[in-house]
Amino acid sequence: MTQPKRPRYCSYLLRCWAETDASGEVILWRFSLEDPRTGQRRGFAHLTDLVIALQDELMGEKQGVK
């Protein structure tokens, strides 16, 4: 069985925002990634998780290709 072709480009809406403590100091950053074609949105508490998700998506991990 042949695998569906991956698109030659991907576009995402990336949102980044800082969470702060009571004094206004940034304590951490949060991220969300939205696929504008499907409306699917995923949230990330850590930048490394966001990067891993993008690598998996772009390198074909979802389709079993490494």
Q: Per-residue pLDDT tens for 19-62?
A: 999 999 989 999 999 999 999 999 999 999 999 999 998 887 55
pTM of the model: 0.70
Task: Enter the tokens of residue 56.
Answer: 């998996």
pLDDT of amino acid 23 = 93
Task: Enter the tokens of residue 3.
Answer: 């695998």
CB 51 within 8 A of CB 29: no
pLDDT of amino acid 6 = 62
CA distance 40 to 57: 13
pLDDT tens digits, 12-23: 999 999 999 999
Q: Which residue has the tokens 């800082």?
A: 18
CB 52 within 8 A of CB 42: no
CA distance 53 to 12: 12
